[in-house]
């Protein structure tokens, strides 16, 4: 595996996570609709039209979380020294 592969994987997962996070920020009303509650003090959706489906919101949540968790796992793998055996610096 070439030396640039693991940093490229971290960058790719970070871009996916960032894009999903930005999408969630832009669709905050739909995110609040997913987690709305009946009791006082819980999240409520603001006024305005519904723009995203619940499936799209859940997909963005999953992509966002998988992205930063994958970055963390790769970083721990590299910092632990386990990546030294599989990376070829000459490639």
User: Taking the alpha carbons of 88, 73, 17, 57 in that order, is the dihedral positive or negative?
Assistant: positive
Q: Which two tokens stand for residue 61?
A: 């949540």
List CB contacts of 27: < 8 A, sequence separation 6 or more. 51, 52, 56, 57, 60
Per DSSP, what are the bridge partners of residue 2?
A: 88
27 lies in some domain:
yes
Would you state the pLDDT for residue 48? 76
91 lies in some domain:
no
73 lies in some domain:
yes
User: Taking the alpha carbons of 7, 12, 15, 21 in that order, is the dihedral positive or negative?
Assistant: negative
90 lies in some domain:
no
46 lies in some domain:
yes
Number of domains in the chain: 1
89 pLDDT above the threshold of 80: no
Mean pLDDT, the chain, whole residue set: 87
13 lies in some domain:
yes
Q: Is the pTM of this model over 0.95?
A: no
57 lies in some domain:
yes
What range does the domain containing 27 cover? Answer: 5-85
- Per-residue pLDDT tens digits for 13-56: 999 999 999 999 999 888 888 887 777 777 666 777 778 999 99
């Amino acid at each position: 595996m070439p030396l640039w592969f693991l940093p490229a994987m971290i960058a790719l997962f970070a871009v996916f996570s960032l894009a999903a996070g930005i999408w969630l920020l832009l669709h905050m009303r739909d995110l609040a609709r997913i987690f709305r509650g009946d009791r006082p003090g819980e999240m409520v959706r603001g006024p305005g039209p519904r723009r995203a489906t619940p499936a799209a919101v859940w997909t963005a949540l999953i992509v966002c979380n998988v992205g930063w968790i994958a970055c963390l796992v790769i970083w721990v793998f590299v910092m632990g020294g386990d990546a030294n055996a599989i990376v070829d610096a000459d490639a």
